[in-house]
Homo-oligomer: A and B are copies of this chain.
Protein backbone atom coordinates (compact mmCIF):
# COMPACT_ATOMS: atom_id res chain seq x y z
CA UNK A 1 0.00 0.00 0.00
CA UNK A 2 3.03 2.23 -0.06
CA UNK A 3 2.78 5.49 -1.99
CA UNK A 4 -0.64 4.84 -3.44
CA UNK A 5 -2.54 8.01 -4.30
CA UNK A 6 -6.03 7.84 -2.88
CA UNK A 7 -8.79 10.39 -3.39
CA UNK A 8 -11.08 10.84 -0.37
CA UNK A 9 -14.48 12.25 -1.33
CA UNK A 10 -16.26 12.93 1.97
CA UNK A 11 -18.06 16.03 3.19
CA UNK A 12 -17.85 15.26 6.91
CA UNK A 13 -14.54 16.85 7.91
CA UNK A 14 -14.08 14.58 10.91
CA UNK A 15 -14.54 11.39 8.92
CA UNK A 16 -12.43 12.74 6.10
CA UNK A 17 -9.56 13.57 8.42
CA UNK A 18 -9.89 10.23 10.13
CA UNK A 19 -9.62 8.49 6.79
CA UNK A 20 -6.75 10.71 5.81
CA UNK A 21 -4.78 9.84 8.95
CA UNK A 22 -5.53 6.16 8.62
CA UNK A 23 -4.24 6.13 5.07
CA UNK A 24 -1.15 8.16 5.89
CA UNK A 25 -0.29 5.77 8.69
CA UNK A 26 -0.34 3.03 6.12
CA UNK A 27 1.98 4.78 3.73
CA UNK A 28 -0.63 6.04 1.29
CA UNK A 29 -0.82 9.53 -0.16
CA UNK A 30 -4.39 10.71 0.46
CA UNK A 31 -5.97 13.77 -1.16
CA UNK A 32 -9.15 15.20 0.37
CA UNK A 33 -12.09 16.79 -1.40
CA UNK A 34 -15.37 17.69 0.28
CA UNK A 35 -18.09 17.73 -2.35
CA UNK A 36 -19.20 15.88 -5.43
CA UNK A 37 -18.50 18.83 -7.66
CA UNK A 38 -15.02 19.23 -6.23
CA UNK A 39 -14.37 15.55 -6.84
CA UNK A 40 -15.42 15.90 -10.46
CA UNK A 41 -13.20 18.94 -10.91
CA UNK A 42 -10.29 17.01 -9.47
CA UNK A 43 -10.98 14.08 -11.80
CA UNK A 44 -11.95 16.08 -14.86
CA UNK A 45 -8.67 16.71 -16.56
CA UNK A 46 -7.00 14.02 -14.57
CA UNK A 47 -5.45 11.25 -16.50
CA UNK A 48 -6.64 7.93 -15.24
CA UNK A 49 -3.30 7.51 -13.65
CA UNK A 50 -3.70 10.33 -11.19
CA UNK A 51 -5.22 8.20 -8.46
CA UNK A 52 -4.85 4.57 -7.56
CA UNK A 53 -8.17 4.43 -5.75
CA UNK A 54 -11.16 6.59 -4.85
CA UNK A 55 -13.03 6.47 -1.55
CA UNK A 56 -16.45 7.90 -2.31
CA UNK A 57 -19.04 8.90 0.23
CA UNK A 58 -22.59 8.59 -1.11
CA UNK A 59 -24.24 11.48 0.71
CA UNK A 60 -22.55 14.54 -0.63
CA UNK A 61 -23.54 18.16 -1.13
CA UNK A 62 -23.71 19.35 -4.71
CA UNK A 63 -23.65 16.06 -6.51
CA UNK A 64 -24.29 12.75 -4.82
CA UNK A 65 -21.72 10.00 -4.84
CA UNK A 66 -23.85 8.05 -7.28
CA UNK A 67 -23.87 10.95 -9.70
CA UNK A 68 -20.11 11.32 -9.38
CA UNK A 69 -19.67 7.62 -10.02
CA UNK A 70 -21.92 7.65 -13.07
CA UNK A 71 -20.02 10.61 -14.40
CA UNK A 72 -16.55 9.18 -14.12
CA UNK A 73 -17.22 5.58 -15.10
CA UNK A 74 -16.51 5.05 -18.72
CA UNK A 75 -13.83 7.73 -18.59
CA UNK A 76 -11.85 6.46 -15.63
CA UNK A 77 -11.22 2.93 -14.46
CA UNK A 78 -9.73 3.76 -11.09
CA UNK A 79 -11.28 1.44 -8.50
CA UNK A 80 -13.96 3.05 -6.34
CA UNK A 81 -14.92 1.99 -2.83
CA UNK A 82 -18.22 3.57 -1.79
CA UNK A 83 -18.88 4.63 1.78
CA UNK A 84 -22.56 4.20 2.64
CA UNK A 85 -24.66 4.82 5.72
CA UNK A 86 -26.40 1.74 7.07
CA UNK A 87 -29.69 3.19 5.90
CA UNK A 88 -28.56 3.15 2.28
CA UNK A 89 -28.51 -0.64 2.04
CA UNK A 90 -31.10 -0.65 -0.75
CA UNK A 91 -29.03 1.62 -2.92
CA UNK A 92 -26.20 -0.89 -2.99
CA UNK A 93 -27.45 -2.49 -6.16
CA UNK A 94 -27.52 0.85 -7.96
CA UNK A 95 -24.08 1.54 -6.69
CA UNK A 96 -22.66 -1.62 -8.11
CA UNK A 97 -24.50 -1.16 -11.36
CA UNK A 98 -23.01 2.30 -11.58
CA UNK A 99 -19.59 0.73 -11.36
CA UNK A 100 -18.47 0.77 -7.74
CA UNK A 101 -15.92 -1.93 -7.07
CA UNK A 102 -16.78 -2.37 -3.42
CA UNK A 103 -18.52 -0.61 -0.59
CA UNK A 104 -18.21 -0.28 3.17
CA UNK A 105 -20.98 0.73 5.52
CA UNK A 106 -20.45 3.48 8.06
CA UNK A 107 -19.44 3.33 10.78
CA UNK A 108 -16.66 1.25 9.33
CA UNK A 109 -13.99 -0.79 10.96
CA UNK A 110 -10.52 0.54 10.13
CA UNK A 111 -9.01 -2.88 9.62
CA UNK A 112 -11.84 -3.88 7.34
CA UNK A 113 -11.58 -0.74 5.26
CA UNK A 114 -7.84 -1.19 4.89
CA UNK A 115 -8.33 -4.81 3.90
CA UNK A 116 -10.83 -3.83 1.23
CA UNK A 117 -8.57 -1.08 -0.04
CA UNK A 118 -5.78 -3.62 -0.31
CA UNK A 119 -7.97 -5.97 -2.32
CA UNK A 120 -8.79 -3.23 -4.79
CA UNK A 121 -5.22 -2.02 -5.11
CA UNK A 122 -4.02 -5.54 -5.60
CA UNK A 123 -6.44 -6.40 -8.36
CA UNK A 124 -6.20 -3.05 -10.12
CA UNK A 125 -3.99 -3.38 -13.09
CA UNK A 126 -0.75 -1.52 -12.88
CA UNK A 127 -0.97 1.81 -14.55
CA UNK A 128 1.55 2.50 -17.20
CA UNK A 129 2.96 5.94 -17.28
CA UNK A 130 4.31 7.17 -20.55
CA UNK A 131 6.26 10.40 -20.75
CA UNK A 132 6.77 12.27 -23.97
CA UNK A 133 9.25 14.88 -25.09
CA UNK A 134 9.16 15.59 -28.79
CA UNK A 135 10.13 12.32 -30.45
CA UNK A 136 11.31 10.71 -27.23
CA UNK A 137 8.99 8.44 -25.31
CA UNK A 138 9.74 7.05 -21.87
CA UNK A 139 7.74 4.02 -20.84
CA UNK A 140 7.66 3.22 -17.13
CA UNK A 141 6.38 -0.27 -17.76
CA UNK A 142 9.16 -1.12 -20.15
CA UNK A 143 11.81 0.82 -18.19
CA UNK A 144 13.27 2.28 -21.33
CA UNK A 145 13.20 5.24 -23.67
CA UNK A 146 12.12 5.05 -27.29
CA UNK A 147 12.48 7.07 -30.45
CA UNK A 148 9.77 5.83 -32.71
CA UNK A 149 9.90 2.07 -32.36
CA UNK A 150 13.56 1.97 -31.51
CA UNK A 151 14.46 1.24 -27.90
CA UNK A 152 17.33 3.28 -26.53
CA UNK A 153 18.49 0.45 -24.29
CA UNK A 154 19.03 2.61 -21.24
CA UNK A 155 20.64 1.23 -18.12
CA UNK A 156 18.86 1.68 -14.83
CA UNK A 157 20.62 4.90 -13.85
CA UNK A 158 20.40 6.32 -17.34
CA UNK A 159 16.69 5.58 -17.35
CA UNK A 160 16.18 7.27 -14.02
CA UNK A 161 18.07 10.37 -15.07
CA UNK A 162 16.16 10.74 -18.31
CA UNK A 163 12.89 10.12 -16.49
CA UNK A 164 13.65 12.90 -14.05
CA UNK A 165 14.53 15.32 -16.82
CA UNK A 166 11.43 14.45 -18.81
CA UNK A 167 9.11 14.69 -15.84
CA UNK A 168 10.00 18.32 -15.55
CA UNK A 169 11.26 19.39 -18.94
CA UNK A 170 11.39 23.11 -18.25
CA UNK A 171 13.45 22.77 -15.10
CA UNK A 172 17.21 22.94 -14.99
CA UNK A 173 18.48 20.13 -12.78
CA UNK A 174 21.68 20.75 -10.87
CA UNK A 175 24.04 17.86 -10.36
CA UNK A 176 23.01 18.02 -6.76
CA UNK A 177 19.34 17.62 -7.79
CA UNK A 178 20.09 14.72 -10.06
CA UNK A 179 22.39 12.94 -7.69
CA UNK A 180 20.09 13.15 -4.71
CA UNK A 181 17.06 12.05 -6.73
CA UNK A 182 18.62 9.22 -8.65
CA UNK A 183 21.19 7.95 -6.19
CA UNK A 184 19.16 8.84 -3.11
CA UNK A 185 22.34 9.90 -1.45
CA UNK A 186 24.21 13.04 -0.54
CA UNK A 187 26.12 14.70 -3.36
CA UNK A 188 29.72 15.43 -2.44
CA UNK A 189 30.62 17.78 -5.25
CA UNK A 190 33.58 16.70 -7.31
CA UNK A 191 31.92 13.79 -8.96
CA UNK A 192 32.10 13.09 -12.63
CA UNK A 193 29.71 10.18 -12.70
CA UNK A 194 26.66 12.21 -13.67
CA UNK A 195 28.55 13.71 -16.60
CA UNK A 196 29.46 10.26 -17.79
CA UNK A 197 25.88 9.10 -17.56
CA UNK A 198 24.59 12.14 -19.42
CA UNK A 199 27.16 11.48 -22.10
CA UNK A 200 25.98 7.88 -22.41
CA UNK A 201 22.34 8.91 -22.68
CA UNK A 202 23.20 11.44 -25.37
CA UNK A 203 25.11 8.79 -27.22
CA UNK A 204 22.14 6.46 -27.19
CA UNK A 205 19.75 9.17 -28.34
CA UNK A 206 22.18 10.26 -31.06
CA UNK A 207 21.94 6.86 -32.71
CA UNK A 208 18.42 7.68 -33.77
CA UNK A 209 18.15 11.43 -34.15
CA UNK A 210 20.24 14.53 -34.80
CA UNK A 211 18.59 16.58 -32.10
CA UNK A 212 20.53 17.07 -28.88
CA UNK A 213 17.61 17.00 -26.42
CA UNK A 214 19.73 17.27 -23.31
CA UNK A 215 21.18 20.73 -22.98
CA UNK A 216 24.06 21.70 -20.73
CA UNK A 217 23.41 24.81 -18.69
CA UNK A 218 26.89 25.98 -17.99
CA UNK A 219 27.96 26.00 -14.39
CA UNK A 220 24.53 24.84 -13.30
CA UNK A 221 23.35 21.55 -14.73
CA UNK A 222 21.18 19.97 -17.40
CA UNK A 223 17.72 20.27 -18.83
CA UNK A 224 15.61 19.01 -21.68
CA UNK A 225 15.66 21.14 -24.77
CA UNK A 226 13.69 21.29 -27.97
Chain A interface residues (CB < 8 Å from chain B)? 89-90, 92-93, 95-96, 100-103, 109, 111-112, 115-116, 118-119, 122-123, 126, 141-144, 155-156, 170-172, 217-221, 223
| A218 with B156, Cβ < 8 A, contacts A96-B115, A118-B96 known | yes
Determine whether the beta carbon of A155 is less than 8 Å from that of B101. Answer: no
Instruction: Give bound CA distance, A109 to B84, whole Å.
Output: 15
Instruction: Give bound CA distance, A90 to B109, whole Å.
Output: 12
Instruction: Enumerate chain B residues within 8 angstroms of A170, measured Cβ to Cβ.
Output: 141-142
Instruction: Enumerate chain B residues within 8 angstroms of A144, measured Cβ to Cβ.
Output: 172
Tell me the number of copies of this protein.
2
Question: Which residue of B95, B123, B220 is within 8 Å of A143 (Cβ)?
Answer: B220
Determine whether the beta carbon of A109 is less than 8 Å from that of B89. Answer: yes
Question: Which residue of B118, B119, B172 is within 8 Å of A142 (Cβ)?
Answer: B172
What are 13 inter-chain pairs, A to B, with CB distance below 8 A?
A: A89-B109, A92-B111, A92-B115, A93-B111, A93-B115, A96-B115, A96-B119, A141-B172, A142-B171, A142-B172, A142-B223, A156-B218, A156-B220
